[in-house]
């Protein structure tokens, strides 16, 4: 055990040292904090795999509130916030659709995202399909015919 950790442990009251619940709580508070600031987390946030655009939007909104960004009051901050959100989207169709719109409020964006999810559900998807690279279809094609690499011809 590191000497700084031993010193920290020795300074704890006996009641904390002999109670695992109290000890673990104090340890987490002291040593398990994140090193980045709230604003750093907000500006470096990325979409998680399987995360719907609306969930990403809610997560980014919560991070912005914690970072003290007043995106709901200032149109300048709102525009930057929405630009950052659109940049993080994985669904290229939704990204293109949202880039061409001017939103007056955050609730309008939320409504557009709900509408988008409803359309995908009506078509039988739980979430929008993942982004596909158009080059993937041409990888195994030459002159319009499919070549099997196992055939030997």
Domain residue ranges of the chain, discontinuous segments joined by +: 1-33, 38-122
Nearest to 65 by CA among 111, 106, 109, 29: 106
Per-residue pLDDT averaged across 105-109, rounded?
91
> Mean pLDDT of all residues in the chain?
81
Q: How confident is the model at residue 72 (pLDDT cuts 50, 70, 90)?
A: confident
pTM strictly above 0.75: no
Q: How confident is the model at residue 142 (pLDDT cuts 50, 70, 90)?
A: very low
Torsion of CA 21, 25, 31, 32, to 10 degrees: 110
Check: CB of residue 64 under 8 Å from CB of residue 71.
Answer: yes
Q: How confident is the model at residue 83 (pLDDT cuts 50, 70, 90)?
A: very high
| pLDDT at residue 114, as a whole number | 93
Nearest to 106 by CA among 81, 128, 87, 89: 81
Check: CB of residue 63 under 8 Å from CB of residue 80.
Answer: no
93: Cβ contacts below 8 Å, ≥ 6 apart: 128
The Cα 52–Cα 127 span in angstroms is 7
Nearest to 83 by CA among 62, 101, 65: 101
């Amino acid at each position: 055990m590191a000497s700084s950790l031993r010193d920290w442990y020795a300074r704890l009251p006996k009641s904390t040292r002999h109670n695992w619940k109290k000890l673990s709580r104090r340890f987490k508070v002291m040593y398990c904090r994140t090193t980045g600031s709230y604003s750093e987390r907000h500006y470096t946030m990325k979409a998680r795999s399987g995360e719907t655009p609306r969930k990403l939007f809610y997560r980014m909104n919560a991070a912005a509130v914690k970072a003290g960004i007043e995106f709901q009051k200032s149109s300048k901050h709102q525009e930057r916030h929405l630009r950052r959100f659109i940049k993080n989207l994985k669904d290229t169709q939704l990204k293109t659709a949202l880039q061409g719109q001017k939103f007056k409020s955050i609730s309008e964006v939320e409504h557009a995202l709900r509408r988008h999810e409803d359309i995908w559900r009506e078509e039988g998807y739980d979430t929008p399909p993942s982004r596909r690279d158009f080059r993937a279809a041409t990888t195994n094609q030459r002159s319009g015919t499919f070549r099997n690499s196992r055939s030997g011809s």
